[in-house]
Amino acid sequence: MMPKLGNYITGSWITGDGEGQTLFNAFNGEPITQASTRGLDFGAVLDYARQKGNPALRRMSFHERGRMLRALALHLREHLEKFYRISYLTGATRADSWIDLEGGIGNLFAYASLRRKFPDEPFCPDGEGMPLGKGGTFMGQHVLVPKEGVAIHINAFNFPVWGMLEKIAVNLLAGVPAVVKPATVTCFLTEAVVREIAASGILPDGALQLICGSAGDLLDHVASQDVVTFTGSASTGLQLKAHPAILRESTPFNMEADSLNCLVLGTDVEPGMPEWDLFIKELRKEMTVKAGQKCTAVRRIFVPENRLEDAQKALIRAIAQTTIGNPENEKVRMGPLAGQTQRLEVRAQVTKLLASSQLIYGALDNVKLLEGDADKGAFLSPLLLLNDRPFDSEEPHSIEAFGPVSTMMPYRDMEAAIELSKMGKGSLCSSIVTADARIAREYVLGAATHHGRILILNNECAKESTGHGSPLPLLVHGGPGRAGGGEEMGGIRGVKHYMQRVAVQGSPSMITALTDVYQPNARQTTGEKHPFRKYFEELQIGDTVITHRRTITEADIVNFANVSWDHFYAHTDHTSLADTLFEKPVAHGYFILSAAAGLFVDPGKGPVMLNYGVEECRFLKPVYAGSTIGVKLTCKEKIAQEKKEEKELPRGIVKWYVDVYDETGESVAIATILTMVQRSGAVGDGPSEGQT
């Protein structure tokens, strides 16, 4: 009997009942394994995630979760060669697999690094606090906590690894476990990766479960704290989005569906320009990488009508060079589709497209191979279509052939190109190739409503450009309308999708205690010891020094102008102040901040290692000669830092709230300054925690 894939559920590897669905080698059609989920208790799978994985993850801080992702990425990198070997069976060349495998692992690294944008807590404040009362005793602050449910990822077949990792990186950083259901046809590769993840023991129990095969009644068990993400065809997506349990529970449903992405050649670009070559190169890549089975692949090519002939010829010349065959052969640039079903599907879609377009390159039933059998393997030639009446045909804008297929269409002017781009009714991404900033601006502002991402490609950025087809972890991946309306990834935006936002109201001291971030008007603690004499661990949020005071003189203002060379009229020229906001020469804002530092700094050598910068600074009221200023310096926030090298001193960043006020008690300047502060363990035989 053929080996059967495992389902990693409720803490162990379980095979489904019966024979299951047979999965094939895309290159030669030989059966390789079977997948079955028959007999699995999907309700128990979701409960396990909620009861085991969720509490374990939500107890961890963002920083711990981020370090966990990094450990996972490093671990998976060790096993890449094994994954590459399996990936060939999906029809992917080594370059295709690189996107899937190393791109997926790259996502784990990217989200691991993103931990630094969050506090070392399981939850995070969302935005700034807002005063809600004139007396300063009542305020509001949004806070995000991890949802108590599970992220259910139903993925498409084309990126069995990236599709999983790009999604779980986000929910795991947020503190939510995942159940992954890859598309069955290529799930053997996902299974191999999850086996390594499970064996590593890096994730807590219940943080990740895998279903290889049909989703059964999985969605019947979703609840309101869960999040469902779907990647696949619009028709399946629509069916799942309307699932009664999802509607009943108001479960968030993020959908990434098929998309008629387009690339526009700017009217300024002509043969001979570097942008012309970029246009051809990008299109060739888009049509042949992963045999065109990319959700972001360019399906529609819009070319100025006077360039149509040149563009056709150049593109045909380029795609004709594509070597097709065994994905393991190093000379091969394009492998087969993922399976025979996918090939049948693409052929059927192209036949529909041919109702209004003509084939100008390739053949539906004939493909020249470097190595392989065109019948046994799911091979298909690149197919370039031409439609010369794009406003009169609906097909090229609505039928997606998920393979190496694109349709070229002429346009008259930029307004027409924008209209045509929108006829796709919402795409994941679009590109414009142009060297003209005015054309780029017109296109982006005109087409933006219908796209999730727009690449402006020209010679300046070409070398570093990640290309039309690459979703990036820190940018949203998704699109409006028929692209599903969803947004995956997007850095912090993506993480927030798995968290519940709650608006908390209360006194500044209560909000400070909740968030561990000092809020203006909260209680301040003054003591004998200057906060600059305290080690990182010793400092408490709210620790404050109230300084002595200093009267600003005319000489101070003149001297600062001389030292800084800032002779702006408002500081130096008595005669120029008529009709200005100032009555007299005003002290430089930077001087006030410097003078504040002179007041609040404790000068002796101590735990403060250096000044790290200023985050926010506002000059609220003019300070004239004769004014007397004082400062309240308050410990606002503490961020522990990880050691990058063994010999580094353990330390953290401390943010200080600086309030500079004048003789009337009104604030003249506020700022948040950052210092690097040693941890007490850093000083060998010196003071231990809590000592100076």
| Identity of the residue, 154 or 499, whose beta carbon is nearer to ligand NAP in the bound complex | 154
Residue 7 or 544: which CB sits closer to ligand NAP? 7
Contact status: 519 vs ligand NAP (CB under 6 A):
no
- Give SS3 for 160: coil
Residues 186/157, Cβ–Cβ less than 8 Å: yes
Distance between first and last Cα of the chain: 71
- Rounded to a whole number of angstroms, the minimum distance from the CB of residue 289 to ligand NAP is 13
Which residues, in sequence order, are CB contacts of 51 under 8 Å at separation 6+?
206
DSSP code string of 563-615: HH----HHHH-GGG-TTSS-SSPBPPHHHHHHHHHHHH---SSSSEEEEEEEE
Query: Applying CB under 6 A, which of residues 214, 465, 540, 572 lies at the interface with ligand NAP?
Result: 214
CB 311 → ligand NAP: shortest distance, Å? 25
The residue from 48, 84, 157, 379 that contacts ligand NAP (CB under 6 A) is: 157
Q: Does 183 bind ligand NAP (CB under 6 A)?
A: yes
- Other beta carbons less than 10 A from residue 666's beta carbon: 9
| Binding window for ligand NAP (CB under 6 A); candidates: 59-67, 176-184, 549-557, 617-625 | 176-184
Stretch that binds ligand NAP, among 92-100, 251-259, 500-508, 566-574 (CB under 6 A): 251-259
Whether residue 615 lies in the annotated active site? no
By C-beta, is 36 or 329 nearer to ligand NAP?
A: 36
Tokens of 44: 């128990």
Q: Does 188 bind ligand NAP (CB under 6 A)?
A: no
CB of 374 to ligand NAP, least distance (A): 22
Q: How far is the CB of 95 from ligand NAP (least distance, A)?
A: 18
Cα 179 from Cα 168, distance rounded (Å) = 9
619 binds ligand NAP (CB under 6 A): no
Q: Which stretch binds ligand NAP (CB under 6 A): 109-117, 152-160, 416-424, 497-505?
A: 152-160
Q: How far apart are CA 471 and CA 125, in angstroms?
A: 28
- Regarding 597 and contact with ligand NAP (CB under 6 A), the answer is no
DSSP-derived letter for residue 53 is I
What number of H helices and E strands is found in the chain?
20, 28
Q: At its nearest, how many Å lie between ligand NAP and the CB of residue 351?
A: 17
Burial (CB count <10 Å: 0-12, 13-18, 19+), residue 228: buried
The yes or no reply on residue 215 touching ligand NAP (CB under 6 A) is: yes
Mapping DSSP onto H, E and C, the string for 204-265 reads: CCCCEEECCCCCCCHHHHCCCCCEEEEECCHHHHHHHHCCHHHHHHCCCEEEECCCCCEEEE
Q: Are 80 and 193 in contact (CB under 8 A)?
A: no
Give the separation between CA 659 and CA 385, rounded to whole angstroms: 66
Contact window for ligand NAP (CB under 6 A) among 253-261, 327-335, 369-377, 599-607:
253-261
Q: Which of 158, 251, 349, 407 touches ligand NAP (CB under 6 A)?
A: 158
Identify the bridge partners of residue 262 per DSSP, sorted by sequence position. 300, 430
Nearer of residues 185 and 511 to ligand NAP, judged by Cβ = 185
Q: Which stretch binds ligand NAP (CB under 6 A): 148-156, 318-326, 362-370, 379-387?
A: 148-156
Residue 181 binds ligand NAP (CB under 6 A) = yes
State yes or no: residue 33 binds ligand NAP (CB under 6 A): no
Residue that is written with structure tokens 């107890």 in the block: 59
472 binds ligand NAP (CB under 6 A): no
Of the candidates 145, 240, 448, 513, which one interacts with ligand NAP according to CB under 6 A?
240
Query: Exactly one of 256, 442, 488, 538 is catalytic; which is it?
Result: 256
Distance, in Å, from the CA atom of 396 to the CA atom of 410, rounded to the nearest integer, reads 13
Tell me the longest C-alpha to C-alpha distance in the chain: 97
Residue from 24, 276, 302, 402 that binds ligand NAP (CB under 6 A)? 402
Place of tokens 């120029």: 576
Do 146 and 496 contact (CB within 8 A), yes or no? no
Count of residues in contact with ligand NAP, rule CB under 6 A: 26
The helix (run of H) or strand (run of E) holding residue 632 is: strand 628-640
Q: Which is nearer to ligand NAP, 99 or 599 (CB)?
A: 99
Scan residues 254-283 and list those touching ligand NAP (CB under 6 A).
256-259
Q: Does 93 help bind ligand NAP (rule: CB under 6 A)?
A: no
Minimum Å distance from CB 239 to ligand NAP?
A: 6
Instruction: Answer yes or no: 124 catalytic.
Output: no
Least distance (Å) between residue 297 CB and ligand NAP: 9
CB atoms < 10 A from the CB of 80, how many?
15
Distance CA(391)–CA(669), nearest Å, equals 59
Token pair listed for 238: 């629509």
Q: Site map for ligand NAP, 414-453, x if CB under 6 A? A: --------------x-------------------------
The single residue among 5, 60, 101, 156 that binds ligand NAP, judged by CB under 6 A, is 156
Catalytic residue list: 256, 295
Positions that interact with ligand NAP (CB under 6 A):
154-158, 181, 183-185, 214-215, 231-233, 236, 240, 256-259, 295, 400, 402, 428, 483-484
